[in-house]
Amino acid sequence: MELHGKRLLVTGADGFIGSHLTEELVRKGYNVRAFVYYNSFNSWGWLEECPKKLIKEIEIFSGDIRDPWRIKEAMKGCDIVFHLAALISIPYSYYSPNTYIDTNIKGTLNVLQAARELEIEKVVHTSTSEVYGTARFVPISEEHPLQGQSPYAASKIGADQMAISFYNSFSTPVSIIRPFNTYGARQSARAVIPTIITQVAQGERKIKLGSITPTRDFCYVKDTVQGFIEIAKCDNSIGEVINIGSGFEISIQDTAKTICEIMGVDIEIGTESERIRPVNSEVERLCADTSKAKKMLGWAPKYSGKAGFVKGLKETIEWFTNSDNLAGYKWNRYNF
């Protein structure tokens, strides 16, 4: 599918990945409408950080993904929808699971219902590697069993299955992108990489973390964004679930050590109890099998392997250590 000449909607455009995706779509010359969460401050979230010349090219549409009427209004006149709007913090899902059902499952239902009624050409629905739970085998392919080890993961499984059900029941043209642990500029400090960087950048040498033994597949945001675009362009991706990850597995402890080597400091890692997930909720291991993405989309991570991870970390550190950017983070307060 050729994206030029199409009107593209990005839900969750004010978030971490959503803002990067919106920015890249505009850079490529696409016609973009950005659905951002309504608030009384008239804030557009991370879109505020995009270059002014790009912002001028974006149609901003404020609303709430939980409101079926508002999201349908936003989708009118659009051809393709990138659906990223979601609550994503795992720790907060322990405290407010109902909100995750409303936002992640019902919000996705609102998008799908509108897509069906408006005859949208394609919906790219955003999943997460958290739906796999602790790996039963690695690398994790799209055939891996789904395991809801947190209310967040369960809500995303529900949203994914809702998307699949609309494809099976009504032939709604849905593709599901399943990113692994995306990192980069603008990410929330509740995520481990910004947590480490911001603490070090503020002069801390005893870093507060949760569990340090789990492994993750960190995928740089530029690679994730390109995955979204390739899935949207690929006609054969309709009805498919596609992993997007680096294929490189590293522990949280070794991630912290790598960051500190790049930043040129020695640290001590301390475990803080409030940052530790309940024992059966912790996802101990994640590592992506991206062979389907390579075969179907021609996509492969540019930030691959240890060298690619170091390159991505350097770019991330450069952004976070900019004083203006760092000032926006409450580095000394755990944001669950």
Tens of pLDDT, residues 202-248: 999 898 898 999 999 999 999 999 999 999 999 999 999 999 999 99
Active site residue 152: yes
* Angstrom distance (rounded) from CA 178 to CA 118: 25
What are the DSSP E strand ranges found in 149-211? 174-179, 181-183, 206-209
Q: What band does 163 get if pLDDT is binned at 50, 70 and 90?
A: very high
Please say if the pLDDT value at position 123 is more than 70: yes
The contacts of residue 215 (CB under 8 Å, 6+ apart) are 249, 250, 251, 252, 284, 285, 286, 287
Q: Which amino acid is at 106?
A: K
pLDDT for the residue 184 = 98
Please say if the pLDDT value at position 106 is more than 70: yes
Average pLDDT over residues 63-72: 98
Average pLDDT over residues 287-302: 98
Go through 212-227 and write b for each residue having 16 or more CB atoms within 10 A of its CB, e for each that does not.
bebbbbbbbbbbbbbb
What are the DSSP E strand ranges found in 193-304? 206-209, 215-216, 218-220, 241-244, 250-251, 268-271
pLDDT for the residue 335 = 67
Mean pLDDT for the chain?
96
Q: What band does 336 get if pLDDT is binned at 50, 70 and 90?
A: low
Selecting among 30, 37, 132, 152, the annotated active-site residue is: 152
273 or 149, greater pLDDT: 149
Please say if the pLDDT value at position 333 is more than 80: no
Please say if the pLDDT value at position 65 is more than 80: yes
- H or E stretch including 253? helix 252-263
Please state the separation of Cα 163 from the chain's center in Å: 17
Average pLDDT over residues 33-53: 94
Please say if the pLDDT value at position 16 is more than 70: yes
* Angstrom distance (rounded) from CA 30 to CA 16: 20
Please say if the pLDDT value at position 191 is more than 70: yes
* Angstrom distance (rounded) from CA 210 to CA 335: 13
At 126, give phi and psi (nearest 5°). -95, 120
Q: What band does 273 get if pLDDT is binned at 50, 70 and 90?
A: confident
What would be the CATH architecture of the domain defined by 7-180+221-244?
3-Layer(aba) Sandwich (3.40)
Q: Which amino acid is at 336?
A: F
At 213, give phi and psi (nearest 5°). -85, -25
Query: Per-residue pLDDT tens for 296-326?
Result: 999 999 999 999 999 999 999 999 999 999 9
Q: What band does 279 get if pLDDT is binned at 50, 70 and 90?
A: confident
Share above pLDDT 70 across residues of the chain, in percent, rounded to a whole number: 99
Token pair in block for residue 69: 């009427």
